[in-house]
Amino acid sequence: MPSLKEFFRNSVDAAMASNKVAVEDHTAHYVVSLLTLFARSEALHEPPDGGPGLKPLALMLADAADAGTSDSRNAALQRLGDVALFVAGFMAEGLDRKAVGVGDYVKMGAGAYRTLSTALPANPRGRAFAPVFAELGSRFADVVDVLNEVRHAGCSACDRDILRLYESWLTTGSRRA
């Protein structure tokens, strides 16, 4: 039986092939690691004020802006990008008819990764991750499509799903939708 990481690796590879999306190996590995990490709900949820749910993206952006150090700012930007990518890819339907929709998650997540890619220090970790974050920033919508494919793999479409795909296409211009 494959591990969770192997399952996500195979699923992401298949979804990338299906969507004709190619990213660098390090970027694909980062996405697989993110999925594996967020499979544990406590890793994803960082509830504000101890309540249930996710911290809103605007508060995550405020955390980055208010950070006292560049390391804290970079960690907050990475968290914002990671959460936005996961939510847009796996929970897009839950964003229907909300004030902050999937298009906002795509814009904010892509922007966080692009900013992070240029803000990392020139140490070995920064040099290793800067290209990953740059690619995630520029290909964010494509990677969201891949995650949608992973989520929907094996599911059959119904009329409501087709309408959701159409609405997703209207809002994001997603090639997959």
Mean pLDDT, all residues of the chain: 85
Q: Which pLDDT score, from 0 to 100, does residue 160 have? A: 53
Q: Which pLDDT score, from 0 to 100, does residue 3 have? A: 87
* pTM for this prediction: 0.82
Residue ranges of the chain whose pLDDT lies below 70: 1, 46-52, 92-100, 154-177
Q: Which pLDDT score, from 0 to 100, does residue 86 have? A: 94
Provide the CB-side half-sphere exposure for 67 (13 A, CA): 16
Separation between Cα atoms, residue 84 and residue 81, nearest integer Å = 5
